[in-house]
Structures are given as C-alpha cells and as structure tokens.
Amino acid sequence: MNWITNYVRPKINSMLGRREVPENLWIKCPETGEMVFHRDLEENKWVIPQSGFHMKMPAKARLKDLFDGGIYETLPQPKVAQDPLKFRDSKKYVDRLRDSRAKTELEDTIVAGLGLVQGVKLVAVVHEFNFIGGSLGMAAGEAIVKAFERAIAEKCPLVIFPASGGARMQEGILSLMQLPRTTVAVNMLKEAGLPYIVVLTNPTTGGVTASYAMLGDIHIAEPGAEIGFAGKRVIEQTLREKLPEGFQTSEYLLEHGMVDMVVKRHDIPATIARVLQILMKKPAEAAKREAGSDVATLPLAARA
C-alpha cells in the first residue's frame, strides 16, 4: 500500500475541497499515443478519429449501433450452474464472476438481441470482452445456442460478433463442451436455410476461433483485429521462426483467404444488410416493405 497516495493525498484533497478526476476521461490510442476524450470516442463508435484504430466496443453499445434506431428485443440469459468445479486460482471463480457482473452489469459475456438492420430482421449475438476476456463458458454457450434456436424460430439470419480469448479455464471440460454444442447450433441454422454471418472483432482467439467464429457463410472483420487460435509468441516459440509482419491481423487473413472482407465499423450495419439481402435473394425495396410488417409483429423492444 502506498501511504502517500492512499492516505495523505485524499486527506489533503478533502481539506482543500478538491474533487477526484475519473481516470477514464481520456483514452490513449494504442497505435499513435493520441489522447481522445471519452465522449468523442463514444460518438465515433469507439474508433480513434485520427488514426482510425478500432478500440473494443461494449456489447450493448454495439447492439444499439447495429439495430435500426437502437431498438431491439433483448434475448433472456439462460440459467446455468455457477462454478460447477468450485474452481480457485489466485481468486475464487465465484468472486471473479461477481466482480465482472458488477463491472459490466451483465450476467455473462454474451448479449443477444432481435431486431431490424436497415429493414432486415435478424438475431445478433455479441461478446462482451470486459467480462473475463469474453471467454466461452457454460452460460455463454447456452446463450449462443438459445440465440440460434430463436433465429430458427423467427426464420431469420443470425450475425455474431466474437471478441474472446477462448474457452474459460475456470470451467474446464465443461467449457470445452461448448465448442461442439455451438457448432451443432450453427449447423441447425444452415439446415434451416438461413444465413450465418460472423463479424470478427479484436481479439478473436482460442476455442472461439476453433468453433463458431470460423463457420460463417460470410466472414467480415474489423480493421486491425487480431484473429487466430494460438498466440503469436507461442507459435514463434514452437516453430522457432520469426512470423511475418501483421501476422494474424484482419488484413493478413484477408490476403490469405481466411476472411471475405475487412470493413470499417461505421460501415458494418449497411454491409450486413446488403449481404443478407443478397443471400436471402431479397431486393432492397422488398426488404423495406417487409420491415413495416416486422415492426408490427416484433415483441416489445428494449432500448440498450
């Protein structure tokens, strides 16, 4: 404990009437070091204005930005067993869950919604990276499966935005079981003849990459996103070779045929709508006409 920082300074500030300034008012660009005021960053969809660097975007903010007017129905979070392995490392798993829930105001890493994107009805699933690194556990796996089932019931496409470090180690084999479960859910959607689009965000790694993140009909990636299974350092140590510049970035994967397109965040809603209209063989005008009836039948929408 730093005695001066934790005791003396607060005492002096209270005597002089100084107010503590929040530490997150200014955000530093990892690429250029530019400082950006947090409200300016939020208004620009968490993209650094000058450098164009794509920061991590909160799950609820992404859903609000994606759906028309920010209106969508939030899909319920399924109930699963909490800490089935009674896991503990430097901290109890139940304590990590409690801290992450307090930090993000979410039950787990997955947030899903049903709504319209430029008139096209779809289910969107988003990882919240700030919840234990967006890791895939039982709750996340069940939420993803339920989202696919809802898309099949609604006869509409599903779009997923992975941002994850992979399987959640605190749940062991139960976490790894979510890989085949989500893969089966993807196949169910495809058997129903419905499109599945993956928007790869930074980072998408580990077991998430090894399952549903690489099974889309179309793979879109945000600029500069890190996408891969094992980390760059692990691969270099295993192969004992220096990897190419930009390895595992969106642009590198596009060049080598692993993703279909790299799209800036501002253009993602329009790109998704256009791709889905093509995949579902719906002219733009037809999609707009259907949107009117969908709005009437859509359940009471929730605002993010």
Mean pLDDT of the region 276-298: 65
Burial of 215 (0-12, 13-18, 19+ CB in 10 A): middle
Cα separation, 299 vs 184, whole angstroms: 27
25 — pLDDT class (breaks 50, 70, 90): confident
Q: Can you tell me the distance from the alpha carbon of 181 to that of 11, in angstroms, rounded to the nearest whole number?
A: 55
> Residue 244: which residues within 8 A CB-CB, separation 6 or more?
252
Q: How many Cα neighbours within 13 Å face the side chain of 146?
A: 18
Its pTM stands at 0.85
Question: CA 145, 148, 149: angle at the middle one, nearest 5?
Answer: 85
Phi, psi at residue 154, to the nearest 5°?
-85, -10
Please tell me whether the peptide bond between 162 and the residue prior to it is cis, using omega within 30 degrees of 0: no
The token duo for 7 is 């005791």
Q: 203-232 pLDDT, tens per residue?
A: 999 999 999 999 999 999 999 999 999 988
- Tens-place pLDDT, residues 135-150: 999 999 999 999 999 9
Rounded-to-integer distance, Cα 119 and Cα 122, Å: 9
